Structure 1
């Protein structure tokens, strides 16, 4: 459809968060006045619309969205319309359960470091259709599973970083989550899908991935990024391969890429060293909201004592893979479980990793104090919750702030 396809139609906007506000600005710039703007579950005002641009947090599988669909209302999104209009050969989309923000930010930094104008946005925070954003030659767009569901076309190149259980409530189950997440890979316009080599869970769904290119190994230029964790280094390799496939000038030049990498600033709360106290390193990985990145985070500290702070909002995901993945760790490990799903995590360890020292903490500051004492004199206190921050904190950043404040209070 594209944005021009909205002209002369009854348009509604559902959700007024970051994307919703950008959508309203775009409609105003295009001279289109929405007939209804709704921020909640009461969709009655939207029933008279032909097209509703919804925010990504609104599940099409829940009753309010089904009511609109049953009434013949077309549900779409700002990103779907933007991709209809964008030149596919100038756009890279990055998706995956975890690692997509880091991969997107690295890709954007490399494009900029090679001397090109680039917009980095999507789920990462900047809606590319927002008229407040300046035009750019290249676009790197992070795409969540929520956003992928609404898309009708794709870019020339897609990166899929990883795949594991997530957002099960929104998608009403894992199989639907996988189908929505990977639907981006086979949309019209997609020519290449870049994935990490040997990812068993991803390759289990190879029929949904389209034209796959597998990336293996770590090249020397990655050292210039200053990243902790092999998973982050692998994501950097995915980013570079995607830019080569997209045809970004200079992306295939090792020396130029190394120079570009030196300008990268790692994102917050993605395996970030925030301080050292009494010889103990404190590492913030607050953005870890499921088992996959938490396992990767612990692996980043092979040979060291690790006190792992894990737990948060309970979305019902299975923590057995986390326990099983840590059961064979030869280096000392303490697992401190946090509310609200701490008891469920502890139960998974009792079943799959009974030899691991697991203790319950009443809150994050208490966990930090216990972890610090245990990890001395040269260990790591790792906040990698494998759960969202909802309920206890405003967002992942507030959780990270509390973690860092507790460290400084020691």
Structure 2
């Protein structure tokens, strides 16, 4: 669907986050004075009215009848495609689209690398853009990483690197390369089941002429084995990690210790980025030295520094238990007190608990709406380290300070979303920085968003 298909139709925008605002701007740009309706929360009404006084604003969650009054509804990604009201309106003839789908409709000939994955998709996307620019390629970095595609409508780039969440993979148009970094359990509240999450995530394979996947993930390998043009990273024949280096086959290319982004998982993200460039015909070996200049993304294993006699690491982006395990692995050998918990999406914490039985950290502080469930699982497994439970992040930081030796690490890696207490993971990360004694404003946004 293209934006022109919405002209002179009954159109609503559902959601007034950044994606919703980008959609309104794009529709106004192409549709002029056309009448549009916005569905938003009651708390957003005043801001929406100031943003576009011509909008017909409806506060609250729309039901099937409200949605059914429109020919097309442009939906924000966070709104589940499986809501009963949406499905009912769809059956009655209302079409649902998104900013992502509209951008692809407007740009059928764009050269696109789209990246998804339960973990690693943001860092891998940023790495691909960073390395492509190091080769002199005019590259756009946008999508779920923090810049809606419609904000770059009509802007030219030689290469588009687009991060897609599992909410968006089915909205992508045909593209040159799809990259899947990992596949674990996540977002069950949106998708409704693990199987549906996996199926939605892998819709990217349907859009991608070539598919690049992580060879270290058996489930991912099995689920993508029928793709006609599948490539792998993480294998000895291609880009992989070996003996402290990022390697291309038998050639040691880049020392992992030179990466500013810590952890073997980030080294594997670098392998994915190099393999992606190579697969579309770019000189990955020539780009590899630029890995030394890549700065870690904020809230992703971000070292804040030392304060009060401890080291502080902000991994607020961690929204699955397996992401927390990866964070702990990156700090192996150090005394770490980890802060876990947040919004409860019903994810299985068993792998985390089992890992804690084998290699417990210095201490674990459980917080948030699923803190009690995590604590109960840990105590039931008789984990051999102090386990505390508190209500909120401030209490977790205070408790951590009493259970960490001098020069130890206090790690925020919640393994859960922030929605029980914060607007998003970034707000949670900034609050953690404040509680640790740092200037939250100094936590920069993601470098490289947009076109450069």
Q: What's the TM-score once normalised by structure 2's chain length?
A: 0.82
2:414 is the alignment partner of 1:385: yes
Distance 2:179 2:358 in 1: 31
- Aligned counterpart, 1:37: 38
Aligned-partner Cα distance in 2 for 1:10–1:364: 45
Cα deviation 1:226-278 (Å, max 9, x = unaligned):
1111111111111121122123x4x33x24331x3344222111001102135
Instruction: Name the CA distance, whole Å, in 2 between partners of 1:297 and 1:131.
Output: 33
Instruction: Name which of 313, 332, 337 aligns with 2:366.
Output: 337
1:321 aligns with 2:351: yes
Query: Are residues 1:308 and 2:309 paired?
Result: no
Partner of 1:213: 231
Aligned length: 401
Kindly indicate whether the alpha-carbon contact (under 8 Å) linking 1:312 and 1:341 is maintained by their aligned counterparts in 2.
yes
Partner Cα distance (1:226, 1:300) in 2: 12
Give the direction of change, closer, same or farther, for the CA distance of 1:373–1:185 in structure 2 (3 Å limit): same
Task: Report the alpha carbon displacement of residue 343 of structure 1 after superposing the two structures with TM.
Answer: 1.0
In structure 1, runs of 5+ residues without a counterpart are none
Alpha-carbon separation, structure 2, partners of 1:183 and 1:142 = 14
Matches within 5 A, 1:188-337: 190-207=208-225, 211-216=229-234, 217-218=240-241, 219=246, 220-221=253-254, 223=256, 224-247=258-281, 249=282, 251-252=283-284, 254-258=285-289, 260-277=290-307, 279-329=309-359, 332-337=361-366
Structure 2, unmatched stretches of 5+, are 41-59, 235-239, 247-252, 439-452
Match of 1:184 among 195, 204, 207: 204
2:27 is matched with 27
The residue matched to 2:184 in structure 1 has which SS?
coil
When residues 134 and 353 of structure 1 are mapped into structure 2, their CA distance, relative to the original with a 3 A threshold, is farther
Shift of 1:382: 0.9
Q: Secondary structure at the match of 2:196?
A: helix
The verdict on how the C-alpha distance between 1:277 and 1:29 changes in structure 2, with shifts beyond 3 A counting, is: closer
Q: Find the residue that maps to 1:175 and give its secondary structure.
A: helix
Question: Structure 1: which 4+ aligned runs deviate by more than 6 Å?
Answer: none
Residues 272/212 of structure 1: CA separation in 2 closer, same or farther (3 Å cut): same
Q: Report the CA distance between 1:96 and its aligned residue.
A: 0.8
Question: Structure 1 residue 366: deviation in Å?
Answer: 3.1
Matched, 1:2 2:33: no
* Contact 1:35/1:49 (<8 A) preserved: no
Q: 2: CA distance between counterparts of 1:284 and 1:198?
A: 26
Separation in 2, partners of 1:222, 1:7: 54
- Checking the alignment, whether the CA contact within 8 Å between 2:110 and 2:160 is kept in structure 1 is no
2:433 to 398, 401, 404: 404
TM-score, normalised via structure 1 length: 0.90
Q: Distance in 1 between matches of 2:220 and 2:357?
A: 23
What RMSD in Å do the two structures reach over aligned CA positions?
Answer: 2.4
Structure 1 range deviating more: 23-32 or 69-78 = 23-32
The residue that corresponds to 1:11 in the other structure is 11
SS state at 2:149 partner: coil
The equivalent residue for 2:82 is 61
Q: What residue is the counterpart of 2:387 in the other structure?
A: 358
CA contact 1:185–1:208 (8 Å) conserved in 2: no
Hey, what's the Cα distance between the residues in 2 that align with 1:305 and 1:162?
A: 28
Counterpart of 1:174 in structure 2 is 194
Tell me by how many angstroms 1:133 deviates: 7.0
* Cα pair distance change 1:154/1:333, threshold 3 Å: farther
* Residue 157 (1) aligns with residue 177 (2): yes
Residues 356 and 383, structure 2, Cα contact 8 Å, conserved in 1: no
Pairwise CA distance, 1:323: 0.7
Q: Report the Cα distance in structure 2 between the residues aligned to 1:256 and 1:66, rounded to whole angstroms.
A: 46
Q: Is 1:192–1:212's contact at 8 Å kept on the other side of the alignment?
A: yes
